[in-house]
Amino acid sequence: MKIVVTGGLGFIGSHTVVELQNENFEVVVIDNLSNSSVEVLDGIERITGNKPIFEQIDLRDKAAVHSFFKKYDDVAGVIHFAASKAVGESVKEPLLYYENNIASLVYILQELQQKPEANFIFSSSCTVYGQAEVMPIAETTPIQPAMSPYGNTKQIGEEIITDVTKVSNINAILLRYFNPIGAHPSVEIGELPIGVPQNLVPFITQTGMGLRKALSVYGNDYPTVDGTCVRDYIHVVDLAKAHVIALQRLIDKKNADKLEIFNLGTGTGSSVLEVIHAFEKVSGQKLVYNIVERREGDVTSAYANTDKANTVLGWKTVSTLEEAMDSAWKWEQKVRSKN
Catalytic machinery residues: 150
Q: Which amino acid is at 107?
A: Y
**Residue 272 CB, nearest distance to ligand UD1 (Å)?**
5
Nearer of residues 22 and 198 to ligand UD1, judged by Cβ: 198
Nearer of residues 16 and 171 to ligand UD1, judged by Cβ: 16
Tell me the sheet residues that pair with 78.
4, 120
Nearer of residues 113 and 199 to ligand UD1, judged by Cβ: 199
**Residue 186 CB, nearest distance to ligand UD1 (Å)?**
24
Interface residues toward ligand UD1, by CB under 6 A: 85, 87, 125, 127, 151, 179, 198-200, 203, 215-218, 229, 231, 272, 295, 297-298
**Residue 232 CB, nearest distance to ligand UD1 (Å)?**
9
C-alpha–C-alpha distance, residues 333 and 113, integer Å: 45
Name the residue whose CB lies closest to ligand UD1: 229
**Residue 137 CB, nearest distance to ligand UD1 (Å)?**
12
Nearer of residues 110 and 198 to ligand UD1, judged by Cβ: 198
Residues near 37 by beta carbon (within 8 Å), at least 6 away in sequence: 9, 192
Q: Output phi, psi for 277, to 5 deg.
A: -65, -35
